[in-house]
Chain A
Amino acid sequence: MSSRLVVIAIPFVVIAIFWLMARYEASRRHDPTHKGYFERNGMVLGIAFIALVALWALFLVVLPYLYMVVESFHPTLRPVERGGPKDVLTIAQYQSFFMAPTGDGWNTTHMGAFLFSIIASIAVTALNFAICYPLAFYMAQSGTPQKVRLILLALIVPYWVNEILRAFSLRLLLASKGLINQLLMGSGLTDAPVDFLGINVGLYVGLSYAYLLVMIFPLYNAIESLDKNQIEAARDLGAPWWRIHKDIVIPYAKPGIASGCTMVFMLAAGSLAAPQFLGGPRTLWFTSVIYNFFFQAFNWARGAAYAFLLLAACILFVMLMLRLFKVSLGETIK
């Protein structure tokens, strides 16, 4: 239990350090505009603010994460065994990701699922970018304000329908008795129904469909702020349309692109609904693996370890994106 308690102390130590630094700086330099915290907010409000923020930042965000990470470094124990002699720090859960349970050879199932999820998410990100970029460009550059408002509304309405229902609707379309197969067979293009769901087309379409909005908004915002005259100038100088995009629009919209791609990737990699309902019988999505650890095997420690691996992959991807596009974190949060 003690390792878990140490973890809880970490955030408080960090806070104490910053508080001391602030006091030191304040005593060194006289700032004419300085007003103390409780002076500025009054006692009641001051305490209320601190309490709310502490509750949120510490108890809903930082401590649960740290606790989960710590848990992933513990063996899988039954409730009675916790706190007992078997409760030690170990990397066994992480090892189980790489090593097969039988002791020799690699855990190809899980590692495969992990790689598949990552690569598929990247593919979906690229797909969404290709789909959304032209519309974002059109909206930003040539749309009148009313048209844009209408398009925005039209984009948002489908997303008010729950993602589960949206996945469901896609399944209806793509199932063997679904509308698309009916059209294909009815018009004579195919004889037997195409198993879209089995070959994962459903999965890709589902993931892409789910996160179109997330890609288009940052793209639209970024491109919208570009001065139209720059494009006019380039066209004047004789640049063909593909060069205009490559040299002018895309470099300018980099923060928006990075933002959109990051969000789509992370949502896709962490997605639960689409793989559950649209994945083929033989596809294993990494998040589903985690889900199963929790609800079927009740192996929380192992689930936590895998979840941390997922988080690490996401963070790595984000940092890669930031480095690749040379943008800072603040710009992408928009």
Chain B
Amino acid sequence: MSAGVELDHITVRFGDFTAVDNAALDIKGGEFFSFLGPSGCGKTTILRTVSGFLEPSEGTVRIGGKDMRGIGPNRRPTALIFQNLALFPLMSVAENITYGLRVQGVDKATRMRKADELLQLIALPGQGGKQMSELSGGQKQRVAIARALCVQPQVLLLDEPLSALDLKLRQHMRNELRTIQRMVGITFIYITHDQGEALTMSDRIAVMSDGVIQQVADGKTIYDEPATAFVASFVGENNPFAGTVKEANGSFALLDTRFGKLRGRNPRGLKAGDKAILFVRPESAQLTPGAADTTFTSKVKSVAFEGNMTHVFLEGAGKKDITVTVGRHNGAAIPEQGSVATVSYDAELGLALPEGKMARE
């Protein structure tokens, strides 16, 4: 049983500081939806507003169509997985998992049965009697999930649950979470600052920065068609070329940049004279010359061989280097450090976006 979540123009202010600015979106029931953004962007605030720990200064939250105003966190059909898990250290595994049933007054026998069921689900059969201090990090994660699922929420909220785990475990848990979500079928709202997580697990992603939702789309769209300069620079690696639009039509725009005139797609309808940034992804660039308006040159600062890829770092316009990434068996010659290299790209793979704040390095 799952429900959709509607954020109806939510604004949350703490005194003079606006943490979330006019957030409006619809999360479909049964979706795996992620909020992606750097720390301080407002994603935690949104999560706490949906779960009921914060009342929005403006706007409403609706879950399953019902207005949640004035309804406290203990009466909402949501369950939250905390960043530090917040498992109850004085209770056993089974007691933790079935706590939600205990507060409803369910009798002990039923609770124990439910605990066994869920312990099977999270692959910890028979471990109900263990204490929290005896569990590993990954096991604690699974107990936290079981505890939340036990109350059969319509929406499961996850607050960066994997950030405290080490790399191998994190990748393992990514698959687990996705599998569990598909099995149980409830809406997952997941917040993270790790784009890898967001891209691999989610049906749709909302990218946030400074309290504002920059774009809401599925992973591929976010990656290939970023809507703003922030999204383009935050998700994946991207080379920005700042400049002014010289010519533009519906499909393409020609920018005047420090590296000459460069052309790219124009999905946002930029006009001549607009300030814009042309984005070219490292893997979209080649170390061979191409058409005049999609080629530039720059001095090679360093070359990094990373096994299946090689990264070539060239001098950029400002502090940021230009990165070109070529596959192992690409064929083109890797230029030497200090030499001047020619870089080109396919105009279809260049993207011109209005000037805006980019992600911090």
Direct chain A–B contact by Cβ atoms under 8 Å: yes
Pair A30/B13 contact, Cβ less than 8 Å = yes
A78 on the interface (CB 8 Å rule)?
Answer: no
Q: How far is A114 from B49 in the complex, measured between Cα atoms in Å?
A: 63
Pair B57/A32 contact, Cβ less than 8 Å = yes
- A residues in contact with B55, CB < 8 Å: 32, 34
Pair A30/B57 contact, Cβ less than 8 Å = yes
B184 on the interface (CB 8 Å rule)?
Answer: no
Report, as a range, how many residues of chain A touch the other chain. under 10
| Contact flags A27-48 to B (C-beta < 8 A → 1, else 0) | 0011111110001000000000
| Chain B, 42-82, CB within 8 A of any chain A CB | 49, 53-57, 72
Q: How far is A39 from B74 in the complex, measured between Cα atoms in Å?
A: 12
How many contacts A-B (CB < 8 Å)? 17
Q: How far is A31 from B56 in the complex, measured between Cα atoms in Å?
A: 9
State which of A29, A30, A33 has its C-beta within 8 Å of the C-beta of B53.
A33
| Chain A, 1-35, CB within 8 A of any chain B CB | 29-35
Q: Which residue in chain B gives the minimum CB-CB distance to A39?
A: B72
| Chain B, 130-181, CB within 8 A of any chain A CB | none
B12 on the interface (CB 8 Å rule)?
Answer: yes
- Min Cβ gap A29→B in Å is 7
Q: How far is A129 from B14 in the complex, measured between Cα atoms in Å?
A: 49
- A residues in contact with B15, CB < 8 Å: 29
| Chain B, 10-27, CB within 8 A of any chain A CB | 12-15
| Chain A, 129-166, CB within 8 A of any chain B CB | none
Q: How far is A39 from B13 in the complex, measured between Cα atoms in Å?
A: 22
| Chain B, 318-357, CB within 8 A of any chain A CB | none
Q: How far is A40 from B203 in the complex, measured between Cα atoms in Å?
A: 37
Pair B54/A33 contact, Cβ less than 8 Å = yes
- A residues in contact with B57, CB < 8 Å: 30, 32
Q: How far is A29 from B15 in the complex, measured between Cα atoms in Å?
A: 7
- B residues in contact with A31, CB < 8 Å: 14
Q: Which residue in chain B gives the minimum CB-CB distance to A35?
A: B72
| Chain B, 221-251, CB within 8 A of any chain A CB | none
- A residues in contact with B56, CB < 8 Å: 32
- A residues in contact with B53, CB < 8 Å: 33
- Min Cβ gap A194→B in Å is 61
- A residues in contact with B14, CB < 8 Å: 31-32
- Min Cβ gap B126→A in Å is 37
Q: How far is A32 from B53 in the complex, measured between Cα atoms in Å?
A: 8
- A residues in contact with B13, CB < 8 Å: 30, 32
Q: How far is A31 from B57 in the complex, measured between Cα atoms in Å?
A: 8
Q: How far is A30 from B54 in the complex, measured between Cα atoms in Å?
A: 11
Q: Which residue in chain B gives the minimum CB-CB distance to A33?
A: B54
- Min Cβ gap A43→B in Å is 15
- A residues in contact with B54, CB < 8 Å: 32-33
Q: Which residue in chain B gives the minimum CB-CB distance to A30?
A: B57
- A residues in contact with B49, CB < 8 Å: 32
Q: How far is A31 from B15 in the complex, measured between Cα atoms in Å?
A: 8
Q: How far is A276 from B233 in the complex, measured between Cα atoms in Å?
A: 82
- B residues in contact with A34, CB < 8 Å: 55
Q: How far is A30 from B12 in the complex, measured between Cα atoms in Å?
A: 10
Q: How far is A30 from B18 in the complex, measured between Cα atoms in Å?
A: 13
- Min Cβ gap A32→B in Å is 4
Chain B residues at the A interface, C-beta cutoff of 8 Å: 12-15, 49, 53-57, 72
Can you give 5 A-B contacts (C-beta < 8 A)?
A29-B15, A32-B54, A32-B56, A33-B53, A34-B55
Chain A residues at the B interface, C-beta cutoff of 8 Å: 29-35, 39
Given A30-B13, A33-B54, 4 other A-B contacts at CB below 8 A? A29-B15, A32-B13, A32-B49, A33-B53
